[in-house]
Structure 1
Amino acid sequence: MIAKSAADLINKQKEHFLISADQVANVFEKNHLDHAFLVLTKIGYSKIPVLDKDQHFKGLISLSMITESMLGLNGIDPSNLSQRQVCEVMQKDVPVITDNDSLEEVLHLLVDQPFLVVVDSENIFKGIITRRELMKAINYMVHELDKKYEVNLRENLS
């Protein structure tokens, strides 16, 4: 359980956690892999969300997933990228969160993920929370904690 004082200070930064959907590069599940390859290459991110035409979150696509689909018996063959769709190679088993998830749950998930996808109750993509944004809030908390709260150290006597 997160100490209330720490959670209060981190949550003061909560409005900065979410990078909204309109600011996050994404592709559609029916896009061809050559399009996803170009998007990923141009933006410089290793992984981006995949949506359907109604903005429902479907999964994540990465350069490595696309590259894996180009590997053949005789080396790399990019010729099939224009025939294959993103939905054929994307990662579908992705942890997602909602606005109702606790700070503790977000922190646990971000240990293993560089970012978390945020969806609403109907799985509409709302944006992402990055490890970087949460680390900025934690940085704020560790610098402000003893200014806002009286901190009492207890020694473990066991």
Structure 2
Amino acid sequence: MEISSFLLPKDQVAYITNSLSMLEALEQLEQHHYTAIPIIDNEGKYVGTLSEGDLLWKLKNTADLTFDNIGEVPVSDIQKHVHNESVLINAEMEDMLTLAADQNFVPVIDKEGVFVGIIRRKDIIEYYTRNITD
């Protein structure tokens, strides 16, 4: 089964651009109650995922960085410690299970790499649960 029927489209997903500041990214995570958020570039292409842990490591490991000046640090300067692998929109659900074991969500892209949405781990688990118990 193609994943497109499980897609939570981009217009229903919170995401950030890599030009936002660390403060703006933190505010987005807080506002949406996320622990991680997709990052796209100015062309709309998926470039990675930013996690709360990434923000904490940046704060801990950068001399003189405080909550007062995190607005000066662009997201592009923050090292990402986890790589959330993306999949093409025409991928099959069978491709999702392994990814869902390690990712809260799977970013979905088109053939040009443009971010089109996510598949949530919850939806993947529910799909497999229904198919195993049927």
- 2:94 maps to 1:104: yes
- Structure 1 90/43 Cα, relative in aligned 2: closer, same or farther at 3 Å? farther
- The percent of aligned pairs where both chains have the same amino acid is 23
Q: What is the match of residue 33 of structure 2?
A: 44
The 2-side partners of 1:106 and 1:63 are apart by 24
User: Which shows bigger deviation, 19-28 or 64-73?
Assistant: 64-73
1:112 deviates by 1.5
1:58 deviates by 1.0
Alignment root-mean-square deviation, CA: 2.5
- Structure 1 74/89 Cα, relative in aligned 2: closer, same or farther at 3 Å? closer
User: Which shows bigger deviation, 90-99 or 44-53?
Assistant: 90-99
Q: What is the match of residue 140 of structure 1?
A: 130
Q: What is the match of residue 57 of structure 1?
A: 46
Using structure 1 for the length normalisation, give the TM-score: 0.74
Q: Letter of the aligned partner of 1:45 in structure 2?
A: Y
The 1-side partners of 2:14 and 2:51 are apart by 12
| Number of matched pairs | 133
Verify the 8 A CA contact 1:27 1:49 in the aligned structure 2: yes
The 1-side partners of 2:90 and 2:2 are apart by 16
Q: Which runs of 4+ in 1 moved over 4 A?
A: 72-76
Residue deviations 1:100-135, cap 9 Å, x none? 323322112212212111000111001111110011
Larger radius of gyration: 1
Verify the 8 A CA contact 1:70 1:80 in the aligned structure 2: no
Using structure 2 for the length normalisation, give the TM-score: 0.86
